[in-house]
Amino acid sequence: MYNRFLAAALLAATITGCQSEEWQTKDISGVMPDLAFSLTGEQGTPVTEKAFAGNATLLFFGFTSCPDVCPTTLARLSTVLDKLPEEERRQVRVLFVSVDPERDDPEHLRKYTEYYGPEFVGLTGTQDELRALTKRYRVTYSYAEPDENGDYAVSHSSAVFGFAPDGRIRVLMRDDDGTEAILADLRRLVNERG
Amino acid sequence: MACSVELRFEHAGQAAANPHQSGLSAASQQRELIRRHMPPLSEIAAFLRPYTAEPLIAALCAATALLYFRGLSRGEPPGNWAIAGFIVGLGSMYLVTQTRFDYFAQYLFFMHRVQHLVLHHVGPMLIVLANPLPILVRALPERPRHRAQSLWHSAPISVLYKSIQHPAPAGFLFVGLIYFWLIPSIHFDAMLSRFQYNLMNWTMAVDGILFWWLVLNPRAPDGANGSLGYGKRCLLLALVMFPQILIGAYIALSDSAAYGIYEVCGRPWPIQSDTDQTLAGLITWIPASMMSVVGMLIVLSRWQRHERAQNGGPDGTGGRISTVGGRM
Protein backbone atom coordinates (compact mmCIF):
# COMPACT_ATOMS: atom_id res chain seq x y z
CA MET A 1 0.00 0.00 0.00
CA TYR A 2 2.73 2.39 1.03
CA ASN A 3 4.78 1.46 -2.03
CA ARG A 4 1.88 2.09 -4.32
CA PHE A 5 1.38 5.52 -2.78
CA LEU A 6 5.04 6.29 -3.26
CA ALA A 7 4.90 5.21 -6.88
CA ALA A 8 1.86 7.41 -7.48
CA ALA A 9 3.58 10.34 -5.85
CA LEU A 10 6.68 9.81 -7.98
CA LEU A 11 4.58 9.59 -11.12
CA ALA A 12 2.75 12.78 -10.21
CA ALA A 13 6.07 14.52 -9.58
CA THR A 14 7.39 13.39 -12.97
CA ILE A 15 4.28 14.60 -14.76
CA THR A 16 4.29 18.01 -13.09
CA GLY A 17 8.03 18.14 -13.73
CA CYS A 18 7.38 17.65 -17.42
CA GLN A 19 4.66 20.26 -17.51
CA SER A 20 6.74 22.96 -15.85
CA GLU A 21 9.66 22.38 -18.17
CA GLU A 22 11.82 25.45 -18.29
CA TRP A 23 11.68 28.03 -21.03
CA GLN A 24 14.82 28.09 -23.17
CA THR A 25 14.99 31.89 -23.30
CA LYS A 26 14.53 34.24 -20.33
CA ASP A 27 11.35 33.41 -18.39
CA ILE A 28 9.65 36.64 -17.29
CA SER A 29 6.17 35.26 -16.58
CA GLY A 30 4.32 37.51 -14.17
CA VAL A 31 7.18 40.01 -14.07
CA MET A 32 5.64 42.32 -16.64
CA PRO A 33 2.07 43.24 -17.56
CA ASP A 34 -0.05 41.53 -20.22
CA LEU A 35 0.05 42.72 -23.82
CA ALA A 36 -1.88 45.99 -24.20
CA PHE A 37 -1.35 48.96 -26.50
CA SER A 38 -3.03 51.40 -28.78
CA LEU A 39 -1.01 52.16 -31.90
CA THR A 40 -1.40 52.78 -35.63
CA GLY A 41 -1.24 49.85 -38.07
CA GLU A 42 0.10 49.48 -41.59
CA GLN A 43 -3.22 50.70 -43.00
CA GLY A 44 -2.94 53.92 -40.99
CA THR A 45 -5.83 52.89 -38.74
CA PRO A 46 -5.83 52.39 -34.96
CA VAL A 47 -4.81 48.93 -33.75
CA THR A 48 -4.92 47.48 -30.24
CA GLU A 49 -3.79 44.19 -28.73
CA LYS A 50 -7.30 42.80 -29.39
CA ALA A 51 -6.39 42.35 -33.06
CA PHE A 52 -3.88 39.69 -32.03
CA ALA A 53 -5.87 37.81 -29.40
CA GLY A 54 -5.44 34.06 -29.79
CA ASN A 55 -2.03 34.37 -31.43
CA ALA A 56 1.37 33.78 -29.90
CA THR A 57 2.73 37.32 -30.14
CA LEU A 58 6.30 38.53 -30.31
CA LEU A 59 6.87 42.23 -29.62
CA PHE A 60 9.97 44.06 -30.83
CA PHE A 61 10.88 47.77 -30.83
CA GLY A 62 12.99 49.19 -33.63
CA PHE A 63 13.06 51.49 -36.68
CA THR A 64 13.25 50.69 -40.38
CA SER A 65 16.48 52.66 -41.03
CA CYS A 66 18.20 50.52 -38.40
CA PRO A 67 21.49 49.24 -39.82
CA ASP A 68 22.08 46.23 -37.58
CA VAL A 69 19.94 45.09 -34.63
CA CYS A 70 16.52 45.26 -36.32
CA PRO A 71 17.27 43.48 -39.62
CA THR A 72 19.31 40.80 -37.80
CA THR A 73 16.60 40.16 -35.25
CA LEU A 74 13.77 40.11 -37.77
CA ALA A 75 15.74 37.85 -40.14
CA ARG A 76 16.43 35.45 -37.29
CA LEU A 77 12.76 35.35 -36.31
CA SER A 78 11.89 34.77 -39.95
CA THR A 79 14.30 31.81 -40.07
CA VAL A 80 12.71 30.37 -36.92
CA LEU A 81 9.22 30.79 -38.37
CA ASP A 82 10.27 28.86 -41.47
CA LYS A 83 11.02 25.89 -39.25
CA LEU A 84 7.54 25.88 -37.73
CA PRO A 85 4.84 23.56 -39.11
CA GLU A 86 2.37 25.56 -41.21
CA GLU A 87 -0.42 25.04 -38.65
CA GLU A 88 1.65 26.59 -35.84
CA ARG A 89 3.16 29.25 -38.01
CA ARG A 90 -0.27 30.68 -38.79
CA GLN A 91 -0.81 31.27 -35.07
CA VAL A 92 2.22 33.55 -34.66
CA ARG A 93 2.36 37.33 -35.05
CA VAL A 94 5.56 39.37 -34.85
CA LEU A 95 4.80 42.99 -33.94
CA PHE A 96 7.50 45.33 -35.15
CA VAL A 97 6.86 48.61 -33.33
CA SER A 98 8.75 51.50 -34.89
CA VAL A 99 9.86 54.07 -32.30
CA ASP A 100 10.76 56.41 -35.17
CA PRO A 101 7.32 57.57 -36.39
CA GLU A 102 8.90 60.64 -37.98
CA ARG A 103 10.44 58.51 -40.74
CA ASP A 104 8.38 55.30 -40.53
CA ASP A 105 4.88 56.00 -41.83
CA PRO A 106 2.41 53.09 -42.16
CA GLU A 107 3.12 52.60 -45.86
CA HIS A 108 6.85 52.46 -45.23
CA LEU A 109 6.31 49.96 -42.42
CA ARG A 110 4.12 47.75 -44.59
CA LYS A 111 6.81 47.48 -47.27
CA TYR A 112 9.46 46.82 -44.66
CA THR A 113 7.70 44.00 -42.79
CA GLU A 114 6.40 42.41 -46.00
CA TYR A 115 9.95 41.36 -46.79
CA TYR A 116 10.18 39.18 -43.66
CA GLY A 117 6.87 37.37 -44.08
CA PRO A 118 3.10 37.63 -43.62
CA GLU A 119 3.38 37.08 -39.84
CA PHE A 120 5.28 40.36 -39.45
CA VAL A 121 3.13 43.36 -38.61
CA GLY A 122 4.40 46.92 -38.55
CA LEU A 123 3.03 49.31 -35.94
CA THR A 124 3.85 52.81 -34.81
CA GLY A 125 2.20 55.64 -32.94
CA THR A 126 2.47 59.09 -31.46
CA GLN A 127 5.32 59.81 -29.07
CA ASP A 128 2.86 59.54 -26.17
CA GLU A 129 1.64 56.12 -27.29
CA LEU A 130 5.16 54.85 -27.88
CA ARG A 131 6.42 56.21 -24.56
CA ALA A 132 3.51 54.55 -22.76
CA LEU A 133 4.13 51.18 -24.40
CA THR A 134 7.92 51.18 -23.94
CA LYS A 135 7.54 52.23 -20.30
CA ARG A 136 5.05 49.40 -19.79
CA TYR A 137 7.78 46.91 -20.74
CA ARG A 138 10.51 48.82 -18.89
CA VAL A 139 12.44 49.80 -22.01
CA THR A 140 13.17 53.16 -23.61
CA TYR A 141 14.42 54.77 -26.84
CA SER A 142 16.15 57.95 -27.89
CA TYR A 143 17.42 59.74 -30.98
CA ALA A 144 20.98 60.78 -31.78
CA GLU A 145 21.82 64.11 -33.39
CA PRO A 146 21.08 64.06 -37.17
CA ASP A 147 24.08 64.16 -39.54
CA GLU A 148 24.39 66.54 -42.53
CA ASN A 149 21.93 64.37 -44.54
CA GLY A 150 19.39 64.50 -41.75
CA ASP A 151 19.96 60.84 -40.88
CA TYR A 152 20.01 59.95 -37.23
CA ALA A 153 20.54 56.78 -35.21
CA VAL A 154 17.91 55.56 -32.76
CA SER A 155 18.81 53.85 -29.50
CA HIS A 156 16.20 51.20 -28.76
CA SER A 157 15.61 47.92 -26.95
CA SER A 158 17.20 44.84 -28.49
CA ALA A 159 14.86 42.38 -26.77
CA VAL A 160 11.91 40.44 -28.16
CA PHE A 161 9.01 40.01 -25.74
CA GLY A 162 7.01 36.81 -26.11
CA PHE A 163 3.32 36.59 -25.19
CA ALA A 164 1.05 33.55 -24.92
CA PRO A 165 -2.17 33.46 -27.01
CA ASP A 166 -4.08 34.88 -24.01
CA GLY A 167 -1.82 37.95 -24.02
CA ARG A 168 0.18 37.04 -20.94
CA ILE A 169 3.88 37.82 -20.85
CA ARG A 170 6.08 34.73 -20.94
CA VAL A 171 9.62 35.24 -22.22
CA LEU A 172 12.25 37.76 -23.15
CA MET A 173 14.45 36.74 -26.09
CA ARG A 174 17.86 38.30 -26.40
CA ASP A 175 20.43 38.82 -29.16
CA ASP A 176 22.50 35.89 -28.00
CA ASP A 177 19.66 33.38 -27.77
CA GLY A 178 20.09 30.65 -30.39
CA THR A 179 17.48 29.85 -33.04
CA GLU A 180 16.84 26.43 -31.44
CA ALA A 181 15.96 28.04 -28.13
CA ILE A 182 13.71 30.59 -29.82
CA LEU A 183 12.05 27.86 -31.88
CA ALA A 184 11.37 25.71 -28.82
CA ASP A 185 9.85 28.62 -26.89
CA LEU A 186 7.82 29.84 -29.84
CA ARG A 187 6.24 26.40 -30.25
CA ARG A 188 5.50 26.33 -26.57
CA LEU A 189 3.92 29.79 -26.77
CA VAL A 190 1.70 28.70 -29.67
CA ASN A 191 0.56 25.58 -27.83
CA GLU A 192 0.04 27.26 -24.49
CA ARG A 193 -3.60 27.41 -23.53
CA GLY A 194 -4.68 30.09 -21.07
CA MET B 1 18.37 74.21 -27.44
CA ALA B 2 21.04 76.64 -26.26
CA CYS B 3 20.67 78.44 -29.55
CA SER B 4 16.95 78.98 -29.17
CA VAL B 5 17.38 80.35 -25.66
CA GLU B 6 19.95 82.83 -26.92
CA LEU B 7 17.67 83.98 -29.72
CA ARG B 8 14.84 84.57 -27.32
CA PHE B 9 17.12 86.56 -25.08
CA GLU B 10 18.31 88.74 -27.95
CA HIS B 11 14.73 89.42 -28.88
CA ALA B 12 13.88 90.45 -25.35
CA GLY B 13 16.99 92.64 -25.29
CA GLN B 14 15.87 94.50 -28.42
CA ALA B 15 12.47 95.10 -26.96
CA ALA B 16 14.07 96.55 -23.85
CA ALA B 17 16.32 98.85 -25.91
CA ASN B 18 13.43 100.31 -27.92
CA PRO B 19 10.50 100.59 -25.57
CA HIS B 20 8.73 103.15 -27.79
CA GLN B 21 8.94 101.05 -30.90
CA SER B 22 7.65 97.96 -29.24
CA GLY B 23 5.07 99.90 -27.29
CA LEU B 24 5.74 98.04 -24.05
CA SER B 25 5.94 99.63 -20.62
CA ALA B 26 8.81 98.71 -18.30
CA ALA B 27 6.58 96.51 -16.16
CA SER B 28 5.13 94.61 -19.04
CA GLN B 29 8.61 94.22 -20.49
CA GLN B 30 9.64 92.61 -17.28
CA ARG B 31 6.62 90.32 -17.36
CA GLU B 32 7.46 89.51 -20.95
CA LEU B 33 11.02 88.65 -19.94
CA ILE B 34 9.78 86.38 -17.19
CA ARG B 35 7.28 84.75 -19.53
CA ARG B 36 10.04 84.07 -22.04
CA HIS B 37 12.08 82.40 -19.36
CA MET B 38 9.21 80.20 -18.29
CA PRO B 39 10.14 77.11 -20.36
CA PRO B 40 12.96 76.12 -17.97
CA LEU B 41 10.42 76.24 -15.13
CA SER B 42 8.13 73.85 -16.92
CA GLU B 43 11.14 71.66 -17.56
CA ILE B 44 11.90 71.65 -13.85
CA ALA B 45 8.30 70.65 -13.19
CA ALA B 46 8.61 67.83 -15.71
CA PHE B 47 11.82 66.71 -14.02
CA LEU B 48 10.20 66.69 -10.59
CA ARG B 49 7.37 64.44 -11.73
CA PRO B 50 8.18 60.85 -10.73
CA TYR B 51 8.95 58.44 -13.59
CA THR B 52 7.29 55.61 -11.70
CA ALA B 53 5.28 56.92 -8.77
CA GLU B 54 5.83 54.84 -5.64
CA PRO B 55 3.37 56.14 -3.05
CA LEU B 56 5.17 54.35 -0.21
CA ILE B 57 8.42 56.24 -0.83
CA ALA B 58 6.64 59.56 -1.23
CA ALA B 59 4.55 59.01 1.90
CA LEU B 60 7.51 57.96 4.03
CA CYS B 61 9.63 60.93 2.92
CA ALA B 62 6.76 63.36 3.47
CA ALA B 63 5.88 61.92 6.89
CA THR B 64 9.53 62.03 8.01
CA ALA B 65 9.94 65.60 6.81
CA LEU B 66 6.70 66.69 8.51
CA LEU B 67 7.67 65.03 11.78
CA TYR B 68 11.10 66.64 11.63
CA PHE B 69 9.73 70.14 11.15
CA ARG B 70 7.21 69.58 13.92
CA GLY B 71 10.03 68.39 16.16
CA LEU B 72 12.12 71.46 15.36
CA SER B 73 9.50 73.76 16.83
CA ARG B 74 9.23 71.68 19.98
CA GLY B 75 12.30 72.33 22.04
CA GLU B 76 15.88 73.28 21.33
CA PRO B 77 16.51 73.17 17.55
CA PRO B 78 19.83 71.70 16.38
CA GLY B 79 22.43 73.76 14.51
CA ASN B 80 21.71 75.07 11.02
CA TRP B 81 24.20 72.62 9.53
CA ALA B 82 22.36 69.70 11.05
CA ILE B 83 19.02 70.91 9.71
CA ALA B 84 20.52 71.50 6.27
CA GLY B 85 22.20 68.07 6.34
CA PHE B 86 18.95 66.35 7.19
CA ILE B 87 17.00 68.14 4.47
CA VAL B 88 19.65 67.53 1.81
CA GLY B 89 20.06 63.89 2.89
CA LEU B 90 16.37 63.05 2.87
CA GLY B 91 15.74 65.23 -0.18
CA SER B 92 18.49 63.56 -2.20
CA MET B 93 17.11 60.10 -1.45
CA TYR B 94 13.68 61.25 -2.59
CA LEU B 95 15.15 62.96 -5.65
CA VAL B 96 16.97 59.92 -7.01
CA THR B 97 13.91 57.67 -6.68
CA GLN B 98 10.87 59.86 -7.23
CA THR B 99 11.80 62.25 -10.04
CA ARG B 100 12.91 62.03 -13.65
CA PHE B 101 16.31 61.02 -12.23
CA ASP B 102 14.88 57.55 -11.74
CA TYR B 103 14.25 57.26 -15.49
CA PHE B 104 17.95 57.75 -16.19
CA ALA B 105 18.87 55.43 -13.33
CA GLN B 106 16.79 52.69 -14.92
CA TYR B 107 18.37 52.92 -18.36
CA LEU B 108 21.96 54.04 -17.77
CA PHE B 109 24.32 51.91 -15.72
CA PHE B 110 26.35 54.82 -14.42
CA MET B 111 23.24 56.77 -13.37
CA HIS B 112 22.10 53.65 -11.54
CA ARG B 113 25.41 53.69 -9.65
CA VAL B 114 24.90 57.38 -8.79
CA GLN B 115 21.44 56.47 -7.50
CA HIS B 116 22.92 53.84 -5.22
CA LEU B 117 25.73 56.14 -4.12
CA VAL B 118 23.04 58.49 -2.86
CA LEU B 119 20.78 55.77 -1.38
CA HIS B 120 23.56 53.77 0.28
CA HIS B 121 26.16 56.39 1.14
CA VAL B 122 25.55 60.12 0.77
CA GLY B 123 21.90 60.38 1.81
CA PRO B 124 22.10 58.11 4.87
CA MET B 125 25.40 59.67 5.97
CA LEU B 126 23.98 63.20 5.91
CA ILE B 127 20.84 62.06 7.73
CA VAL B 128 22.84 60.26 10.43
CA LEU B 129 25.23 63.22 10.89
CA ALA B 130 22.19 65.45 11.48
CA ASN B 131 21.16 63.12 14.32
CA PRO B 132 17.43 63.58 13.68
CA LEU B 133 16.19 60.82 15.98
CA PRO B 134 15.57 62.93 19.12
CA ILE B 135 13.79 65.53 16.99
CA LEU B 136 11.61 62.94 15.27
CA VAL B 137 10.78 61.27 18.59
CA ARG B 138 9.75 64.47 20.34
CA ALA B 139 7.52 65.35 17.39
CA LEU B 140 5.38 62.28 17.99
CA PRO B 141 2.26 62.70 20.12
CA GLU B 142 2.63 61.09 23.55
CA ARG B 143 0.63 57.91 22.92
CA PRO B 144 2.29 56.82 19.64
CA ARG B 145 5.64 57.84 21.12
CA HIS B 146 5.26 55.47 24.04
CA ARG B 147 4.02 52.76 21.76
CA ALA B 148 6.98 53.21 19.41
CA GLN B 149 9.40 53.20 22.32
CA SER B 150 7.99 50.05 23.87
CA LEU B 151 7.96 48.37 20.45
CA TRP B 152 11.56 49.41 19.97
CA HIS B 153 12.58 47.91 23.32
CA SER B 154 10.56 44.73 22.79
CA ALA B 155 12.63 41.55 22.67
CA PRO B 156 12.35 40.55 18.96
CA ILE B 157 13.09 44.03 17.63
CA SER B 158 15.95 44.76 19.96
CA VAL B 159 17.55 41.33 19.45
CA LEU B 160 17.26 41.68 15.68
CA TYR B 161 18.64 45.19 15.78
CA LYS B 162 21.57 44.28 18.02
CA SER B 163 22.52 41.28 15.90
CA ILE B 164 22.45 43.32 12.68
CA GLN B 165 24.34 46.18 14.27
CA HIS B 166 27.35 44.09 15.20
CA PRO B 167 30.36 45.30 13.19
CA ALA B 168 30.90 41.97 11.40
CA PRO B 169 27.35 41.38 10.06
CA ALA B 170 26.88 45.12 9.48
CA GLY B 171 30.03 45.38 7.37
CA PHE B 172 29.22 42.16 5.57
CA LEU B 173 25.69 43.36 4.80
CA PHE B 174 26.89 46.79 3.65
CA VAL B 175 29.33 45.34 1.13
CA GLY B 176 27.32 42.17 0.47
CA LEU B 177 24.30 44.12 -0.77
CA ILE B 178 26.45 46.06 -3.23
CA TYR B 179 27.90 42.80 -4.56
CA PHE B 180 24.59 40.96 -4.53
CA TRP B 181 22.66 43.47 -6.64
CA LEU B 182 25.62 43.73 -9.03
CA ILE B 183 25.69 40.00 -9.83
CA PRO B 184 24.90 40.30 -13.57
CA SER B 185 21.95 37.86 -13.58
CA ILE B 186 20.46 39.34 -10.39
CA HIS B 187 21.02 42.83 -11.75
CA PHE B 188 19.28 41.87 -14.99
CA ASP B 189 16.17 40.66 -13.17
CA ALA B 190 16.11 43.63 -10.83
CA MET B 191 16.04 46.07 -13.73
CA LEU B 192 13.24 44.16 -15.47
CA SER B 193 10.91 43.68 -12.53
CA ARG B 194 9.36 46.64 -10.81
CA PHE B 195 9.06 44.69 -7.57
CA GLN B 196 12.70 43.64 -7.51
CA TYR B 197 13.81 47.10 -8.53
CA ASN B 198 11.99 48.57 -5.56
CA LEU B 199 13.28 45.86 -3.26
CA MET B 200 16.83 46.62 -4.38
CA ASN B 201 16.49 50.33 -3.70
CA TRP B 202 14.78 49.82 -0.35
CA THR B 203 17.45 47.40 0.87
CA MET B 204 20.20 49.81 -0.17
CA ALA B 205 18.55 52.76 1.59
CA VAL B 206 17.65 50.94 4.82
CA ASP B 207 21.02 49.26 5.09
CA GLY B 208 22.74 52.57 4.34
CA ILE B 209 21.01 54.21 7.29
CA LEU B 210 21.80 51.29 9.60
CA PHE B 211 25.46 51.17 8.61
CA TRP B 212 26.16 54.89 8.82
CA TRP B 213 24.27 55.06 12.10
CA LEU B 214 26.56 52.33 13.47
CA VAL B 215 29.75 54.17 12.52
CA LEU B 216 28.67 57.80 12.88
CA ASN B 217 26.12 57.90 15.66
CA PRO B 218 26.98 60.77 17.97
CA ARG B 219 26.89 58.81 21.23
CA ALA B 220 30.29 58.29 22.84
CA PRO B 221 31.29 54.62 22.97
CA ASP B 222 31.69 54.42 26.73
CA GLY B 223 28.85 53.94 29.17
CA ALA B 224 25.93 51.59 29.17
CA ASN B 225 24.57 52.37 25.68
CA GLY B 226 27.05 49.98 24.07
CA SER B 227 27.78 52.11 21.00
CA LEU B 228 30.77 50.97 18.95
CA GLY B 229 34.31 52.09 19.94
CA TYR B 230 36.01 54.75 17.79
CA GLY B 231 38.84 52.44 16.74
CA LYS B 232 36.41 49.75 15.64
CA ARG B 233 34.38 52.32 13.70
CA CYS B 234 37.49 53.38 11.79
CA LEU B 235 38.50 49.80 11.14
CA LEU B 236 35.04 48.93 9.87
CA LEU B 237 35.07 51.94 7.52
CA ALA B 238 38.47 50.89 6.19
CA LEU B 239 37.42 47.26 5.78
CA VAL B 240 34.31 48.06 3.73
CA MET B 241 36.33 50.35 1.49
CA PHE B 242 38.54 47.70 -0.15
CA PRO B 243 35.83 45.38 -1.52
CA GLN B 244 34.12 48.45 -3.00
CA ILE B 245 37.36 49.50 -4.70
CA LEU B 246 37.71 45.96 -6.00
CA ILE B 247 34.26 45.66 -7.56
CA GLY B 248 34.36 49.22 -8.88
CA ALA B 249 37.73 48.63 -10.53
CA TYR B 250 36.54 45.31 -11.90
CA ILE B 251 33.50 46.90 -13.54
CA ALA B 252 35.45 49.91 -14.82
CA LEU B 253 38.32 47.93 -16.29
CA SER B 254 36.59 44.85 -17.66
CA ASP B 255 35.64 45.31 -21.30
CA SER B 256 33.05 42.55 -21.51
CA ALA B 257 29.57 44.02 -21.50
CA ALA B 258 28.50 41.87 -18.57
CA TYR B 259 25.59 44.13 -17.75
CA GLY B 260 23.59 43.39 -20.88
CA ILE B 261 20.35 44.68 -19.41
CA TYR B 262 21.18 48.23 -20.53
CA GLU B 263 21.64 46.96 -24.10
CA VAL B 264 18.34 45.08 -23.88
CA CYS B 265 16.38 48.09 -22.61
CA GLY B 266 17.63 50.90 -24.84
CA ARG B 267 19.23 54.10 -23.61
CA PRO B 268 17.98 57.66 -22.88
CA TRP B 269 20.71 58.94 -25.19
CA PRO B 270 23.04 57.08 -27.52
CA ILE B 271 25.98 56.51 -25.14
CA GLN B 272 28.43 53.69 -25.91
CA SER B 273 27.96 50.70 -23.61
CA ASP B 274 31.71 50.65 -22.81
CA THR B 275 31.65 54.29 -21.74
CA ASP B 276 28.57 53.66 -19.63
CA GLN B 277 30.15 50.67 -17.90
CA THR B 278 33.49 52.44 -17.28
CA LEU B 279 31.70 55.40 -15.70
CA ALA B 280 29.59 53.01 -13.60
CA GLY B 281 32.74 51.29 -12.34
CA LEU B 282 34.48 54.57 -11.52
CA ILE B 283 31.47 55.77 -9.54
CA THR B 284 31.36 52.51 -7.57
CA TRP B 285 35.11 52.74 -7.05
CA ILE B 286 36.11 56.31 -6.23
CA PRO B 287 33.29 58.35 -4.63
CA ALA B 288 31.96 55.32 -2.77
CA SER B 289 35.32 54.58 -1.17
CA MET B 290 35.93 58.27 -0.54
CA MET B 291 32.86 58.17 1.67
CA SER B 292 34.77 55.78 3.92
CA VAL B 293 37.64 58.26 4.13
CA VAL B 294 35.28 61.11 4.99
CA GLY B 295 33.63 58.89 7.59
CA MET B 296 36.99 58.03 9.14
CA LEU B 297 38.00 61.68 9.36
CA ILE B 298 34.79 62.48 11.17
CA VAL B 299 35.24 59.58 13.60
CA LEU B 300 38.87 60.56 14.26
CA SER B 301 37.96 64.14 15.03
CA ARG B 302 35.24 62.97 17.40
CA TRP B 303 37.63 60.56 18.99
CA GLN B 304 40.12 63.36 19.60
CA ARG B 305 37.47 65.67 21.03
CA HIS B 306 36.23 62.87 23.25
CA GLU B 307 39.69 62.13 24.63
CA ARG B 308 40.38 65.81 25.22
CA ALA B 309 37.14 66.11 27.14
CA GLN B 310 38.03 63.07 29.23
CA ASN B 311 41.49 64.39 29.96
CA GLY B 312 39.99 67.70 30.99
CA GLY B 313 41.57 70.05 28.48
CA PRO B 314 43.07 70.71 25.08
CA ASP B 315 46.53 69.50 26.20
CA GLY B 316 45.39 65.94 26.69
CA THR B 317 46.71 62.92 24.86
CA GLY B 318 44.08 63.28 22.16
CA GLY B 319 45.99 66.30 20.81
CA ARG B 320 48.13 64.17 18.56
CA ILE B 321 45.47 64.14 15.87
CA SER B 322 44.77 67.43 14.18
CA THR B 323 41.17 68.54 13.96
CA VAL B 324 39.74 67.66 10.61
CA GLY B 325 36.31 66.77 9.41
CA GLY B 326 32.98 68.47 9.84
CA ARG B 327 31.28 69.48 13.01
CA MET B 328 27.85 68.50 11.80
Cβ-contact A55, A93 below 8 angstroms: yes
A174 vs B: CB within 8 A: yes
Least confident window among B207-216, B235-244, B263-272, B312-321: B312-321
- For position B270, what pLDDT does the model report? 84
pLDDT band per the 50, 70, 90 thresholds, residue B6: very low
Q: What is the mean pLDDT of residues A48-71?
A: 95
Contacts of A32 in chain B (CB under 8 A): 192-193
Q: Specify the pTM.
A: 0.83
| CATH number for the segment(s) A24-191 | 3.40.30.10
Contacts of A156 in chain B (CB under 8 A): 266
Question: Among all residues of chain A, which has the CA nearest to that of B188?
Answer: A26
Judged against a pLDDT cut of 50, whether residue B328 lies above it is answered with: no
pLDDT band per the 50, 70, 90 thresholds, residue B188: very high
Cβ contacts of B257 within 8 Å, gap of 6 or more: B263, B273, B274, B277
Question: Among all residues of chain A, which has the CA nearest to that of B52?
Answer: A135
Do the Cβ atoms of A144 and B269 come within 8 Å?
yes
Cβ-contact B267, B257 below 8 angstroms: no
Contacts of A61 in chain B (CB under 8 A): 266
Do the Cβ atoms of A31 and B192 come within 8 Å?
yes
For helices B109-117 and B194-216, give the axis angle rounded to 10 degrees.
40
Least confident window among A76-85, B91-100, B149-158, B196-205: B149-158
The tens digit of pLDDT for each residue in B204-251 reads 999 999 999 999 998 888 655 668 889 999 999 999 999 999 999 999
Surface-to-core class of residue B108, CB atoms within 10 Å of its CB (0-12 exposed, 13-18 middle, 19+ buried): buried
Do the Cβ atoms of A138 and B264 come within 8 Å?
no
Residue A143 CA to residue B91 CA, distance in Å, equals 31
Residue A38 CA to residue A23 CA, distance in Å, equals 29
- For position B254, what pLDDT does the model report? 86
The tens digit of pLDDT for each residue in A80-102 reads 999 999 999 999 999 999 999 99
Query: What is the ipTM, given to two decimal places?
Result: 0.84
